[in-house]
Amino acid sequence: MKNIVLIGFMGTGKTTAGKILAKELGMKLVDVDEEIESETGMTICDIFKEHGEPSFRDKETEMAKKISSGGGGLVISTGGGIVLREENIACLRQNGLIVCLMATPETILQRTKDSTDRPLLKVENPYEKIKELLNQRDVRYRNSDITIETDGKSPMMIAHEIIEHWKAVR
């Protein structure tokens, strides 16, 4: 069985929808950021602060390779920046269906405004930052097998939409 790989910007619901998806399909959920945190014993924020973003991106690539080299049957929730390196998506795609969750900057701001664990959004104007990063990454996000617009949808609705696609291609 293939993996289901959830990609998309911060706040598009990858982790929440991923949990429901994994439960309903009886698959194991693996979260790339959580795996990095448990392997390094550091939070993502501390890795950014103490070692810088490039070091985090190296760890992210290592973890993407490690997770996708397993036997399949996983729901893999990735960090929003996984698309920044083509090699990450290439290895995740080898054994996985790439599902991209999209949302408007307004929705993303609403969903992320109270979070303290996203170093890239700890800036004076998070809305501008969200728009800037989304612009930079848009083409990469859209290079997925399935794209799901998540505005106005609950995590349950998003998970069920993914399940419909999954059943059709499996």
Q: Is 44 an interacting residue with respect to ligand S3P (CB under 6 A)? A: yes
Q: List, in sequence order, the alpha helices (H) in the chain.
A: 14-25, 32-40, 44-51, 53-68, 86-94, 105-112, 126-142, 155-169
CB of 66 to ligand S3P, least distance (A): 16
Q: Is 81 an interacting residue with respect to ligand S3P (CB under 6 A)? A: yes
Beta bridge partner(s), residue 96:
3
Residue with tokens 């920046």: 81
SS3 148: strand
Strand 28-31, strand 74-77: pairing: parallel
Task: Rule CB under 6 A: choose which of 18, 80, 96, 105 binds ligand S3P.
Answer: 80
Cβ-contact 12, 18 below 8 angstroms: no
Comparing CB distances to ligand S3P, the nearer of 1 and 138 is: 138
CB of 157 to ligand S3P, least distance (A): 19
Encoding tokens for residue 110? 């609403």
Cβ-contact 21, 4 below 8 angstroms: yes
Total of residues contacting ligand S3P (CB under 6 A): 10
Q: Which position's Cβ is nearest ligand S3P? A: 79
Residue span 138-167 as binding mask against ligand S3P, x where in contact by CB under 6 A, dash where not = ------------------------------
Q: Is 126 an interacting residue with respect to ligand S3P (CB under 6 A)? A: no
Comparing CB distances to ligand S3P, the nearer of 10 and 30 is: 10
Binding site for ligand S3P (CB under 6 A): 10, 14, 33, 44, 79-81, 118-120
